[in-house]
Amino acid sequence: MTEHARGHGHAHTRPDWAALAAEIEAEGETLLPYVTQALDAIAERIAAPATVLDVGSGPGVFTAALAARFPTARVIAVDGAPELLDRARARAAGVGHPVEGLRTDLPAGVAELPAADLVWTAQTLHHLGDQSAAVGALAGRLNPGGVLAVAEGGLPSRFLPRDIGLGRPGLADRLDALQAVGFGEMRDALGGTVDVPEDWPALLRAAGLRDVRARTFLVDRPAPLDDGTRRGVAHLLGRYLRMADRLDPDDAQVLRRLTDPDDPQGVRRRPDVFVLAARTVYIGTAPGPSSGTRRSSRLRRGR
């Protein structure tokens, strides 16, 4: 079955981030393996960035991963929700890698961000009307030789077999279709929307970045899952309940059962729940010499 983005629903009203924080954290932890793999790939370009920005950090699951991967860096969580920044700071401090929090609204506040050697942003830019301008603005915050990493898209996630013994087989495909409709409506409702092909490598190149590459990373958590990952799956599926009135009534009822913590057929209890996801990260480098320590070309070729 499917999900969309870390920490973001596609409702048209301002979310209650304080209420959603635990849900966002559970989702981020479920998908964290792709981030750790992506950071290893980024470290092939810049092994010791001095300043790292996590733009659209949410409650800081990925911010903490950045701080752990680059322990000598000044790591800054950037988000518009103070409640989430508080959680980001607390999470990172709790694992021994303190980070800073910077409240700013996107995209207007990008120009005020400090210059950085690495700018990371995950599943955030598609919530901005002019994605091309946002990429350009983030690239503009890079020091010479700095790296921009944009995590957007990938493949629909799957959490259960095609036939789960409830309702009609193929619920995941129908949820994919529902998600596509919701995504389009979200984009249409944004202010200042500029229609551009979502060719992320082209957008990074247009922003003046070099050596642009796309890497796709797998999250493969086979059944049986631990309780924490089950909670993450339940939250990811629970997002579709916000559009349940658009589902076939039978599908909506199945979705309610799957997300019910007390139902023996729910994802918190059934034995066949897994996580299989693929996320794509687009990486580009600003012109000029890097201030971060680079690995040798021999090591880079050895990958």
pLDDT digits (tens, 9 = 90+) for 253-275: 999 999 999 999 999 999 999 99
CA 19 to chain centre: 19
- Contact criterion met (CB below 8 Å) for 128 and 105: no
Most confident of 6-10, 172-176, 189-193: 172-176
Q: How confident is the model at residue 86 (pLDDT cuts 50, 70, 90)?
A: very high
pLDDT band at 298 (very low <50, low <70, confident <90, very high): very low
Residues 24, 198: Cα–Cα separation, whole Å: 25
Q: Which fold has domain 18-157+202-222+273-286?
A: Rossmann fold (3.40.50)
Report if pTM > 0.85. yes
Question: What does the pLDDT average to over 273-299?
Answer: 80
Mean pLDDT of the region 286-299: 63
CB 121 within 8 A of CB 38: no
Residues 6 or more apart whose Cβ sits within 8 Å of residue 140? 110, 111, 207
Q: What residues have CB less than 8 Å from 172, skipping those under 6 apart?
A: 1, 2, 156, 158, 159, 160, 162
Using pLDDT thresholds of 50, 70 and 90, give the confidence band for residue 101: very high
- Asked whether the beta carbons of 171 and 303 are under 8 A apart, the reply is no
- AA identity, residue 175: L
For residue 171, give the amino acid letter. L
Give the per-residue pLDDT at 14.
61
Average pLDDT rounded to a whole number, residues 110-134: 97
Question: Cβ(65)–Cβ(36) under 8 Å?
Answer: yes
Tokens of 277: 């996801």
The overall average pLDDT reported for the chain is: 91
Sorted by where each begins, the domain ranges of the chain are: 18-157+202-222+273-286
- At 83 the pLDDT is 94
| Angle formed by the axes of helices 17-43 and 61-69, nearest 10° | 30
Q: Please check the confidence at residue 277 and state whether its pLDDT lies above 80.
A: yes
- pLDDT tier for residue 1 given thresholds of 50, 70 and 90: very low
The mean pLDDT of 192-221, rounded to a whole number, is: 97
Instruction: Give the mean pLDDT of 91-106.
Output: 96
Report percent pLDDT > 70 for the chain. 91
